[in-house]
A and B are shown apart, each in its own frame.
Chain A
Amino acid sequence: GQQLNQSPQSMFIQEGEDVSMNCTSSSIFNTWLWYKQDPGEGPVLLIALYKAGELTSNGRLTAQFGTTRKDSFLNISASIPSDVGIYFCAGQDLDSNYQLIWGAGTKLIIKP
């Protein structure tokens, strides 16, 4: 099935570091959603973006809807151990009628 290009695939970070990840699409999206998934759980919605250029924060998380409408970015500031998990971007293009198209995920790992 169709997927977004999400990078990096995984990240090893020190506690307290800032984290950045992004997703790109070959088609224009009208919605970008960012989710976090812990092992054995369903994805949890973190941030929803609806307009090109939109910048939205949720605590230490900040996400942006790219101006080309083909990309989105998620930043996590001052990472803490509970940030560990897999982060997914998901988008809806103009024709998908609410179907979500997903990236392959970015796995965040805290260095011991």
Chain B
Amino acid sequence: DAGVTQSPTHLIKTRGQQVTLRCSPKSGHDTVSWYQQALGQGPQFIFQYYEEEERQRGNFPDRFSGHQFPNYSSELNVNALLLGDSALYLCASSWLARASREQYFGPGTRLTVT
């Protein structure tokens, strides 16, 4: 049973550039949530996708956008990168159709903005 996978593992970008991160949910899961985790802190919720739509959004600017595909995989896009966007980006999947509140995380993508 494949768990949550994310790509790439690490990424280095320059201020002002754009980045796309990818996530494949755990087998059988239909919902993907994205989190940003700064060093030494707990994750912060960015947004959640279900049925290819953004269901809920945290306190993040419009520079952060996402997409969910028919196979439930998801992308996180960040435009006009700032130094403060450097963080570990985590994807979590869950089974909303079963009203499951458990979220399972991937290993994350470490983004460094220089």
Contacts and interface: CB of A to CB of B under 8 A. Distances in A.
Interface of A: 1, 3, 6, 30-31, 33, 35, 40-45, 48, 50, 88, 90, 92, 96-105
B99 to A, nearest CB: 9
Nearest to B55: A97
Contacts of A103: 42
Contacts of B48: 98-99
A43 to B, nearest CB: 5
A77 to B, nearest CB: 23
Interface of B: 4, 6, 31, 33, 35, 40-45, 48, 55-56, 58-59, 90, 92, 94, 96, 101-108, 110
Nearest to B42: A102
B56 A99 contact: yes
Contact of A33 (B40, B90, B96, B102): B102
A35 B42 CA distance: 11
Contact of B108 (A30, A41, A99): A41
